[in-house]
Amino acid sequence: MTDEPLLRVSALSKFYGSRVGCENVTFDLWPGEVLAVVGESGSGKTTLLNCLSTRLLPSSGTASYRMRDGQFRELYRMGEAERRFLMRTDWGFVHQNPADGLRMTVSAGANVGERLMAVGDRHYGKIRATAVDWLSRVEIDEDRIDDEPRAFSGGMRQRLQIARNLVTGPRLVFMDEPTGGLDVSVQARLLDLLRGLVTDLGLAAIVVTHDLAVARLLSQRMMVMKDGRVVESGLTDRVLDDPRAPYTQLLVSSILQV
């Protein structure tokens, strides 16, 4: 264990004109830690995630990422090429809709292999073997390797998107409602799978969800957002079992009533 965070976020805000996306968000993320970001629709979860993953530039505030060489780099001062390199190698991004994170008209194997080639792998046999291995890790049969994801079910597509993201051995994965569009039974299985992978790989992750059960299952720590601001944060079990902010109490009790 290192005694330095992987990501340091300070006073991050994003405004869309006069509308608040997220405001004054500050936290550290530690290596191997899963942080859940919860809150109702419009509370700023996606805005925050997109700022952190540099898909969106914040209006103010800073975020520093500890690179593999141990040096912290200020994300919003990096050049475009360097940010893209981070996204291809050290980071993953799992979209709610798998079609946004996959290439739907190339094979499942190529979807996984492509990420390896992007980090410099050139040996076809090795790439294919790694793709097969990753498909099996996400419970996709080897005989589907040449099929295009548009021929897959929603759950399979999401598992493929996860394989595509994890194959390069990222240290940090951003997920926006990773189980959002799926049937309840498929959700449960995917969550199990995700939890196993995150634990095995020692991944750090920031998971946006409006589902407190997802937060409970995947995360060690959580932040509750309302109107763009963090209203409560802490260890997941503590926040869910003993919520302190009135808004969190409401959120927890309304979920229990469902």
Helix residue spans in the chain (DSSP H):
45-52, 80-89, 108-118, 124-137, 154-166, 184-201, 212-218, 236-241, 246-257
Contact call for residue 43 and Mg ion (CB under 5 A): no
Span interacting with ligand ATP, options 4-12, 16-24, 86-94, 239-247, rule CB under 6 A: 16-24
Size of the site for ligand ATP (CB under 6 A): 12
Contact call for residue 53 and ligand ATP (CB under 6 A): no
Residue 155 interacts with, from ligand ATP, Mg ion, none (CB under 5-8 Å by kind): none
| Cα–Cα–Cα angle for 198, 200, 204, rounded to 5 degrees | 35
Span interacting with ligand ATP, options 14-22, 126-134, 229-237, 238-246, rule CB under 6 A: 14-22
Span interacting with ligand ATP, options 44-52, 71-79, 86-94, 199-207, rule CB under 6 A: 44-52
Binding-site string for ligand ATP from residue 169 to residue 208, where x marks contact by CB under 6 A and - marks none: ----------------------------------------
Under 8 Å between Cβ of 12 and 225: no
Nearer to ligand ATP, 195 or 210 (CB): 210
- Written as one letter, the residue type at 146 is D
Cβ-Cβ contacts under 8 Å for 249 (sequence gap 6 or more): 243
Interface pick for ligand ATP out of 1, 3, 18, 41 (rule CB under 6 A): 41
Q: Is 91 helix (H, G, I), strand (E, B) or coil?
A: strand
Span interacting with Mg ion, options 41-49, 65-73, 111-119, 224-232, rule CB under 5 A: 41-49
What DSSP letter does each residue of 81-135 carry, written as one string?
HHHHHHHHHTEEEE-SSGGGTS-TTS-HHHHHHHHHHHTT---HHHHHHHHHHHH
The pair of structure tokens assigned to 199 is 């634990």
Contact residues for ligand ATP, defined by CB under 6 A: 16, 19, 21, 39, 41-47, 210
